[in-house]
Structures are given as C-alpha cells and as structure tokens.
Amino acid sequence: MEIPKGVKTYEMTSSIIWINEEGILFSVPKPGLPPDLNIDEIDKEMEKFRAIIGNKKICIVSEANPQSRPPTKSERDFIASVINDVTKAMAVVTTSPVARMIANLFFGLKPPPYPAKMFSNEKEAVEWIRQFNK
C-alpha cells in the first residue's frame, strides 16, 4: 500500500497511519524490523492511537509486516483486548506467506469480536471494509 500524497499521516512506533476521506484508517509498516514492544509500550502506543481516532471504533485496513514475529500469548491477549475497543472491522493486506501465517495465527488463537479478513490487495480490502464503515 502507498501513502496518498497530501494526506495527514501519524507516525507510530512501527507503522505510519492515516485516515481517508471516508473515515477508514490505513496502516503501513515502517521499513525494517519492527521493534519488540512490551505490554507497557503497547499500552502507550494505544493511548496515542486513541488520541488520533477519538473515542470511537474505526474500520482499519492494515498492511501486514512480513518481518513481524508472532506475539507471545500474553502479548496476543493484551493486544486483542485493546484492539477490540477501537475496531469496527479490520482488513489485513499481505502478499507475504509468512505475514499471512502470523495474521492467521493471531486471529485463529484469539478470534476477534469484529469482522476481520485477509486480502492480497488494497482495492479488495477497501471494497470489503466499506460495508462496516457506517
């Protein structure tokens, strides 16, 4: 996925995010290996995320980072709990078999209470997520 020209972006620890004119949040990984974050750091990152999106749930189209490592069980449980509070639906875009495996592992071991689906391209992901962006 590419960041559109002229859009306001926000820099997170391991990604760059923006919200399009429809109110859908997009996230692309920063180049390189993502940092290993502990639960306190993840919590601080989520505080920053909530400040950007406001006190609401949002539809997210996220490009998976093929260099991510699978989260531990405690990280997975914590991430799932905080993501649930801010997510209406999530579309994950990846062409990497490794990133697909990690995302499937995450969603398989801790199924989200919101709709989530994987895609190989951004166009299909956006078409699918629009149904939840009401």
Q: Which domains does the chain have, with CATH numbers?
A: 9-132 (3.40.970.30)
User: Which pLDDT tens digit goes with each residue over 96-133?
Assistant: 777 777 777 767 766 788 999 989 999 999 999 999 99
CB 82 within 8 A of CB 57: no
DSSP 46-101: HHHHHHHH-SS-EEEEEE--TTPPPPPHHHHHHHHHHHHTTEEEEEEE---HHHHH
First CA to last CA distance, the chain: 23
pTM for the full model? 0.85
pLDDT of the residue at 45: 87
CB 128 within 8 A of CB 36: no
Q: How far apart are CA 39 and CA 53, in angstroms?
A: 21
